[in-house]
Chain A
């Protein structure tokens, strides 16, 4: 049994109102409260190419603010054109996240932000090299980068305005798409809440080659058989400008994504029980697409 000590420490800077549709409460560790100075430092580091081995690119190269903090490549490309095995995730609203990376291998943003820097196929730097490049120790860099990432908030879309009570914010087609999203499409089973993700791991069959998965996904972290080929549900915010799609970028358009789910994903031994053929009509697919476009709003950075 435990009763926790309460708020003896000073509260962090009173939170700025987030974009419409998002929670005011953005979780952050007690030892890394958000400050304007830290956000500014984190933004600067996010764009700092000295954090890569050959000074050729920064975090922002793959997580481009102009593309909802991802890029247009199916798979991430690191230093010396080294090719990764997964797509660069869109790092918007990650302050609300419970785990990070497609396989959720860390649940602490302060840890997550350093891992691409030290990954040999990404930025390929060692922690020991960070002070020499930036004049800051690795912990300071991590704290600042994590604080900046928490400040990247996407909301205020037509969907958010509709949810807030503006019945004219969605077109008729998008409104029908929302009903499908929640109902027949079964999308809201995983894409739930203000950030449109359950932050959990699901096997949709992407990457199944008929005998095995090219990428074990969550199972590579958990070691559990039922996690084979399971990847974290991504947010759907700004999804219309985040092509290509899925964890390996294999689907070029949202139309292809809708068709993939309409067919019930790819059958495999660990297919999530929520994934099943939808039998959508053409108009329904168009309505769903209209709804997904209505998730494009503003990204505050």
Chain B
């Protein structure tokens, strides 16, 4: 186990180890968990967030080598997997036509090939190489938001789709070391949020369930010797690591409370590399000094929204411990006076943002439903009744940017077109990242990257450059437009920020009294850990 010896003897290179079996391998600003280790334990592939390029990190020296150099054009790498002999890296690449290719490049750099390019498979996730290095087990996430388990030959031969999963996507798939089987996770039943683990013959001839349990079982990886499958499960209340022998035996607990886990892969020596998302986010209220909102759901909250009367605040609260993708989020409504909280269970796959209706009886939700449709919805805060305003197959899972107007109608943007009450009324220069409606002025403001556009009731449009990427947009009751760039709050027309909230993500909400501001703040980061298993 040469790698392990190296890690132990070179402890100064790495963060403190509190467990003989477990080490934190990488935890700095560059840490990224979308890649995989090489089988020989030498390399870890990742996305260099500074440029979007694919890179590998030398696990002995900590040095980094970029493998792509095209990101200046707005393209970038995503998930990756290293070939069995550690010579090539397969990776997803967001191309200049705004969808993902599957590519292979040499681990020493060069010899880059596009091995699958199809707009219909809008997102591709290489999960594992076949043991003989000829095929890549890939997840297609198609344009209609359905997913498929596919084998993509490296030599350009036709793709083989093994199984389609409609609107469910496996969180992880892996090849058995003998190449005969594929392990993946999927929902056990329609409408169930809990996953189980399945085995599918690589020739498509049969399938069986490996792990069936009422809890959430996900992120399977095959052990290097093929004797067991490792997976994460919340059956013990925390998200724990489990191991199930593939020959008729009950799962065994490997390690308790592994946190927000994302498996990256095994080395041939049996070391499991995985990513963890660390840190907490909470709602703060500044008046003017920030204090945390007292809530029973600590450390997992975001997107605060004051009610029109200022007596309540709605926010999103993460549920579950999953590391990436479409997080499960609940809507919490918090009474400022009593501190009471109640949770609204919206039957949606993802919720991105909330906005109160002018009468304070409904919330507008941006998000997506269980059939892969992004859109906007309303939820009655009294009854919990959910209604789609617009939901479209293939639309982004974050839904559309939208806002209530003072008369109770809804404005939203779809394909750069502004709609009010379902009717298109204007074209916009972008699909905005933020939309805000003023009260009395009846103006709509939109954030397009670094600029803000305002449309008045007469249809007149004006543009303002903010000079930096905008992270939030709000009107005051007095008709002033505020925007945020991370922790800094600016008012249009003023060069200096009017406030700064340390750790703020920029999603501010203004209390109707004009004095209090709610915002999300916290510190989340990725870490890579290595667990030496007995495999």
Contact = CB atoms under 8 A, between A and B. Distances in A.
Contact of B250 (A3, A6, A12): A3
Contacts of A30: 206
Contact of B251 (A3, A23, A198): A3
A211 interface: no
B203 A24 contact: yes
Contacts of A1: 212-213, 235, 250-251
B203 A15 contact: yes
A198 B161 contact: no
Contacts of B246: 6
A87 B244 CA distance: 48
Nearest to B208: A4
B160 interface: yes
Interface centre among B166, B200, B246, B393 (most CB of A within 10 A): B393
A28 B160 CA distance: 19
Contacts, number: 107
B162 A6 contact: no
A27 B207 contact: yes
Given A23-B162, A23-B164, A182-B144, A7 B394 contact: no
Interface in B122-149: 142-144, 146, 148
Contacts of B207: 25, 27
Interface in B87-143: 117-118, 120, 142-143
B393 A183 contact: yes
A158 to B, nearest CB: 13
Interface stretch (A67-75, A109-117, A138-146, A189-197): A189-197
B416 interface: no
Q: How big is chain B's contact interface, by range?
A: 35 or more
B161 A24 contact: yes
B462 interface: no
A5 B248 contact: yes
Contact of B204 (A6, A23, A189): A23
Contacts of B166: 192-193, 198
A200 B190 CA distance: 10
B392 A183 contact: yes
B249 A3 contact: yes
Contacts of B455: none
A247 B393 CA distance: 26
A23 B163 CA distance: 5
Given A183-B393, A189-B393, A25 B163 contact: yes
A4 B394 contact: no
A165 B120 contact: yes
Decide if the interface of chain A is mainly helix, strand, loop or mixed. Answer: loop
A151 B251 CA distance: 37
Contact of A25 (B159, B162, B371): B162
A192 B372 CA distance: 11
B417 to A, nearest CB: 14
Contacts of A27: 207
B163 A6 contact: no
Given A1-B213, A3-B248, A183-B394, A15 B204 contact: yes
A164 B118 contact: yes
Interface in B209-233: 209-213
Contact of A189 (B161, B211, B235, B371): B371
A162 interface: yes
Contacts of A12: 205-206
Contact of B199 (A6, A28, A165): A6
B394 A182 contact: yes
Contact of A182 (B159, B203, B393): B393
Contacts of A193: 146, 164, 166
Contacts of B393: 182-183, 188-189
A15 B151 CA distance: 15
B142 to A, nearest CB: 8
A6 B248 contact: yes
Given A3-B210, A182-B393, A24 B160 contact: yes
B201 interface: yes
Contacts of A165: 117-118, 120
Nearest to B201: A11
B519 interface: no
B208 A23 contact: no
A78 B17 CA distance: 76
A163 interface: yes
A1 B120 CA distance: 39
Contacts of A5: 247-248
Contacts of B210: 3-4, 6
Contacts of B205: 11-15, 25
A7 B118 contact: no
Interface in B180-215: 180-181, 190, 199-201, 203-213
Contact of B244 (A3, A163, A183): A3
A14 B205 CA distance: 6
A182 B391 CA distance: 11
Contacts of B248: 3-6
A209 to B, nearest CB: 29
Nearest to A162: B120
A192 B159 CA distance: 20
B272 to A, nearest CB: 20
Contacts of A11: 201, 203, 205-206
Interface in A161-186: 162-165, 182-183
Given A1-B213, A30-B206, A192 B144 contact: yes
Interface centre among A5, A13, A28, A162 (most CB of B within 10 A): A5
A225 B199 CA distance: 37
B208 A7 contact: yes
Nearest to B213: A1
A17 interface: yes
A224 interface: no
A24 B146 contact: no
A26 to B, nearest CB: 8
Contacts of A28: 206
A281 interface: no
Nearest to B215: A1
A17 B249 contact: no
Interface in A1-48: 1-7, 11-15, 17, 22-28, 30
Contact of A2 (B163, B167, B206, B212): B212
A3 B244 CA distance: 8
A192 B164 CA distance: 10
Contacts of A163: 120, 142
A189 B250 CA distance: 38
A33 to B, nearest CB: 8
Contacts of A4: 208-212, 248
A282 to B, nearest CB: 20
B144 A6 contact: no
Interface of B: 117-118, 120, 142-144, 146, 148, 159-164, 166-167, 180-181, 190, 199-201, 203-213, 235, 244-251, 371, 373, 392-394
The 9 closest A-B pairs by CB, nearest first: A24-B204, A25-B204, A165-B118, A5-B248, A182-B393, A25-B163, A24-B162, A15-B204, A193-B164
13 contacts: A1-B235, A2-B211, A3-B248, A4-B211, A4-B212, A4-B248, A12-B205, A15-B204, A24-B162, A25-B205, A164-B159, A165-B120, A183-B392
